[in-house]
Homo-oligomer: A and B are copies of this chain.
Amino acid sequence: MSRIAVIGAGPCGLAQLHAFEQARQDGIDVGEVVCFEKQSDWGGLWNYTWRTGVDAHGDPVHGSMYRYLWSNGPKECLEFSDYTFDEHFGGPIPSFPPREVLFDYIAGRAKKSNVRQFIRFDTAVREVTFDDAAQTFTLTVESWEAAESWEGTETTLSTEVFDHVIVATGHFSTPNVPEYPGFATFPGRILHSHDFRDAVEFAGKNLLILGSSYSAEDIALQSRKYGAASVTICYRNAPMGFGWPDGISEVPALSHVEGRTAHFCDGTSRDVDAIILCTGYQHNFPFLDPELRLVTPNNLYPGGLYKGVVWTANPKLLYLGMQDQFYTFNMFDAQAFVARDVVLGRLALPDADAMAADVDAWLAKYAAVDSVEGQIDFQTDYVRDLMALTDYPDFDLDLVRQHFVTWEHDKDESITGYRDKSFASPCTGTVGPTPHTTWWDELDDSLARFLRRG
């Protein structure tokens, strides 16, 4: 019997388990699927933890999720086409839900497809090697007993052999943490957004944020919303340029810090109380043999992956969700169905040259992209290409593409108001109702509050 290892039980890993389970219910022999999850529950980043730094076992904390996070894109753009929001919630809900709502939605499908049985929680994959002769992978896995409160935990190391490995460990867990002169003597907290948990900590403080992507944008807004005295965002290349609310401003790159004074490259300076490095993440796979590791910056088309999924150097190894993302959950689904069919031999792979040529064609296409709209179109085309390969149910990709364009426009119009807009489902046509409270005024991020009527 074929043995398939899935590493990680976040949105990608759960999509993969779901995909296999759909095939099994159709009477197909999928072999034995084992999913390894180092956390104690599923959901990956959506499984909020208050922990920072290292976890109970001394391992780097996986989670980068913070409290009071609302989706920064319309939920209609990430909807599972085989498990709609209408099905899960029994009726329409607004378009920009907080974390707990999306976690509930992800978990809802995983429960429905009954995939928990395939997951070994509290189990980390420590090493993956490939044996050329046997054409199999050997995984060294470490699992923990439940911990006593203040004590270390019992650990067990074991090895297992698999025919295929599917890496679904995400790429927003290992922070890029730059150093600037003066950090060692800055009198206050310096943290990466990976360790950001609760904006209330910064109420009344003057914050410096480094970065110009989603984390910088959202943590700046959230910090101000929950009471930061001021937020100064500094960018390396170009400002985000949104119409920031009072108290948030953008300045050029940080040069150095002296005491609590941040000096910028334009010669200006500002006194700040804390520094948050929203400086991105690394694709990091320390558990894989170096020859099996995907090495890539964060972009829309990492090289070396046929259909963005199959490791061309060894097609028994597959990766999910390694692209930078407009599309998320539904793209992971489309990838997981492709990965499943490759593994099961239902989707024949072309020879190495043809795979390389396909990758090259996509890279060439990507190299020609020169606008945000072009990026949206590129990833839409990529998902469309995936959708044609499997039986993952269709959804209205053109509508999702249009939603992304509208959403970008909404953000330019009002960075504090875009989350109050409504979008139509590409699966059911249901339009998200207007939220009972505007996002900027809503401080309670609970599911109960979000679903309350009026």
A residues contacting B by CB (< 8 A) are 48-56, 58-61, 67, 149-152, 155, 157, 174-179, 183-192, 194-195, 197-198, 200-201, 236, 273-274, 279-280, 282-284, 286, 290, 297
Contact = CB atoms under 8 A, between A and B. Distances in A.
11 contacts: A50-B179, A50-B190, A52-B52, A53-B61, A54-B60, A54-B194, A55-B177, A58-B60, A58-B282, A150-B176, A150-B178
Contacts of A149: 178-179
A191 B157 CA distance: 29
A120 to B, nearest CB: 19
A200 B188 CA distance: 6
B200 A187 contact: yes
B52 A184 contact: no
Copies of this chain present in the complex amount to 2
Contacts of A273: 201
Top 4 closest pairs, chain A to chain B, by CB:
A58-B174, A187-B200, A53-B53, A149-B178
Nearest to A200: B187
Given A60-B60, A189-B197, A177 B51 contact: yes
A278 to B, nearest CB: 11
Nearest to A236: B150
Given A186-B50, A189-B197, A198-B189, A56 B152 contact: no
Contacts of A195: 52-53
A272 B280 CA distance: 32
Contact of A50 (B51, B54, B184): B184
A274 B273 CA distance: 16
A176 B198 contact: no
B176 A151 contact: yes
A194 B48 contact: no
